Amino acid sequence: MVAETGTARDPSPETSPGTPSVLTRLLRRPLALAGLVIIAVVVLAAALAPWLAPYDPYEQFFDGLTIEGAPLPPNAQFWFGTDLVGRDLLSRLIYGAQTSLVIGVAANGIAVVIGSAVGISAGYFRGWTDTVLMRFTDLMMAFPALLLAIVLAAIFRPSLWIVAMVIAMVNWVQIARVTYTETRSIAERDFVVAERAMGAGAGRILLRHILPHLLSTIIVWATLGIATTVLLEATLSFLGIGVQPPIPSWGNIIFENQTYFSSAPWLVFIPGAAILALALAFNLVGDALRDILDPTQQGRH
């Protein structure tokens, strides 16, 4: 049915005045709240690193090694101990949070933009656009993501932004598939068909009617994807083809100190626990957002 104003009504669900906000509903979930707290702690630590870190992350201390030249265990001066060259591990972890977050957010943001653009374009325009874009997506999905990332990282000289671009290039395919499927479904709905029949252009339909219906899906995938990019960055850095030392990242801290795994296990366990905690936090928040924003879940919680 066409409205009197001459435009088709978009049946987007409207939030009633008494409906709690997404943030309020998120805070009511204990697991999601725990995830938000962990994310907030890591973000604050990264943002305030120059003031929170007790030492320069690159400074090598003469008293930071034992007489035998081994790293010091956690003590009153170095709370998390020192690494294999006498640098304070706590300071390197705090500065490493900057690297992990920058790459996680930047790489995932680029991946979301690329994947959404590919999926929406293929799902709406169909025809040869659909064929070319989705076959290319299938081709990218056929390669193991880690192997492709290793190849790309080996071709380009690793740096902070090169690593972010490499991770984005292998992570956009999943969201492209999801947005493609949903766009095809939305494009067949009556309000879109009516808009098209009245002569509305593709840009107006995509921006005014299709994209708003995809925002919840994109937000959820963007949140969940950060955990994936953080883990992939840590993996690449651990393999020695990610962010290069002496720039601290949680992955290359493990890579640098792996030879002391048996004699100084804190050098591996502590940054490993940080990676695990941050990835788990984003997954908890992403899962909660999926339940909250999925219309099929409305009223169940």
Q: What gap in Å lies between CA 99 and CA 94, rounded to an integer?
A: 10
Highest average pLDDT, of 37-41, 182-186, 230-234, comes from: 37-41
Report if residue 135 sits inside a domain.
Answer: yes
Is 37 a domain residue? yes
Mean pLDDT, to the nearest integer, of 206-225? Answer: 84
Residue 160 has what pLDDT? Answer: 77
Q: What is the CATH number of the domain that holds 177?
A: 1.10.3720.10
pLDDT at 227 over 90: no
Average pLDDT, the chain: 82
Residue 1 lies in a domain: no
Look up the domain containing 237 and give its range: 23-48+87-297
In a domain, 12, yes or no: no
Considering the domain boundaries, does residue 217 fall inside one? yes
Work out how many domains the chain is built from and give that number. Answer: 1
On the question of a cis peptide bond just before residue 246, with omega within 30 degrees of 0, the verdict is yes
Rounded Cα distance between 95 and 105, Å, is 16
pLDDT band at 151, cuts 50/70/90?
A: confident
pTM, two decimal places: 0.80
Within-domain flag for 125: yes
Determine, yes or no, domain membership for 63.
Answer: no
31 is a domain residue: yes
